Amino acid sequence: MVVGALVVLALALVTLSFRESSGGPVTSAQNAGAEALRPFEVAATRVARPFRDAYGWSDSLFRARSDAKKLRAENEQLRQLVLQNEFAANEVKQLKALLAFREGPTFPNDYDPIAASVISRPAGAFAQAVVVSAGSADGVELNAPVVTGAGLIGLVTRVTSHASRVTLLTDESSAVSALDAKTDAAGVVGLGPGVGATLELDRVSKDQDVRVGDTVVTAGWRSTKLSSLYPKGIPIGVVTSVGQSDTDLYKQVQVQPFADFSSIDAVIVLVRKAAGK
């Protein structure tokens, strides 16, 4: 009975409150009640304020920690993205250089380019070689010269169906017949006596003219039965020092290679065009 009356009363209040205009008796009573309750609410708010502030402080602290954790994770992701972008930009730069070389005047006309990426690098300082992602299935042949956009880097010394091993110019066994592009002074480029990737232009007789700053390119000689493995005119490096002594038969010419052997990512394998092609 009581409950029913209360429910009916509540429904009546809802109806009146809902339908009544702003100046009606129910609204006025509600406003008066709200005014009467206001001091209690203010008092309760003031009493609770320190606790709410403490809660707000701890909540913001917790949120700040959560935000910091989220931001750290985001920062890590962005850092990885930056690294990936740098790597991609570097790769793009190298590929652009390769393309420029491919379309440049120094690219040998009687060779076909096979682009490949480096899939493994020398395991130690003693193995001056890289493995590239192109093999006999792609047309790569043994002893094919390998270049980057900067210049010659080595020679294919082993071929599988889908990969090839490229022995770099910095390997002790490498030797390339080369000449000074300006003076035509001929010699053989091999690993120099110094530390690092410095090359040496050996077998340059004392009467030949070689100067610091001259560019050294492949000689690409050809005789009646034999020919050089390398095409003519591929840049190798720049002469950094020239010396000679009375006891030596040849000049000591140091060559700084154009290619950076420590960061080779993409290469072009030069394959001789088939006869009649």
Partner 1 sequence: MIARTGVTRARGFRTLGDLLRISALILVAAIVQVSIFAPVTILGGTPDILLVTLVCLALLRGSIVGAIAGFAGGLIVDVATLGTLGVTALLLTVAGYWAGRYGETTGRGRMRAVPLAVAVITILVAFGGLGLHYMLGDLVSAHRALVTTLLPAIPLNLLLAWPVNRLCAAVARRQASSDRASEVQVLV
Interface with partner 1 (CB under 8 A)? 2-3, 6-7, 9-18, 26, 30-31, 33-34, 37, 40-42, 44-45, 48, 51-52, 55
Residue nearer to partner 1 on the CB measure, 46 or 277: 46
Residue nearer to partner 1 on the CB measure, 37 or 88: 37
Residue nearer to partner 1 on the CB measure, 63 or 206: 63
- CA torsion, ordered 24, 29, 30, 36, to nearest 10 deg: 150
Residue nearer to partner 1 on the CB measure, 15 or 183: 15
- Minimum distance between the CB of residue 64 and partner 1, rounded to whole angstroms? 17
- Minimum distance between the CB of residue 70 and partner 1, rounded to whole angstroms? 17
Cα R_g (the chain), whole angstroms: 40
- Minimum distance between the CB of residue 85 and partner 1, rounded to whole angstroms? 38
State how far the Cα of 210 lies from the Cα of 255, in Å rounded to an integer: 11
Dihedral over Cα of 80, 82, 85, 86: its sign: negative
Q: Name which of 125, 253, 106 is nearest 189 in CA terms.
A: 253
Show Cβ contacts of residue 266 under 8 Å, excluding neighbours closer than 6 positions: 91, 94, 95, 98, 115, 116, 117, 118, 148
Residue nearer to partner 1 on the CB measure, 30 or 240: 30
- Minimum distance between the CB of residue 60 and partner 1, rounded to whole angstroms? 13
Question: SS3 of 131, please?
Answer: strand
Residue nearer to partner 1 on the CB measure, 2 or 123: 2
- Minimum distance between the CB of residue 74 and partner 1, rounded to whole angstroms? 23
Q: Name which of 241, 261, 265 is nearest 253 in CA terms.
A: 241
- Minimum distance between the CB of residue 14 and partner 1, rounded to whole angstroms? 4
Residue nearer to partner 1 on the CB measure, 12 or 73: 12
Residue 24 CA from chain centroid, whole number: 75
- With 0-12 / 13-18 / 19 or more C-beta atoms within 10 angstroms meaning exposed / middle / buried, residue 272 is middle
- Minimum distance between the CB of residue 23 and partner 1, rounded to whole angstroms? 15
Show Cβ contacts of residue 77 under 8 Å, excluding neighbours closer than 6 positions: none
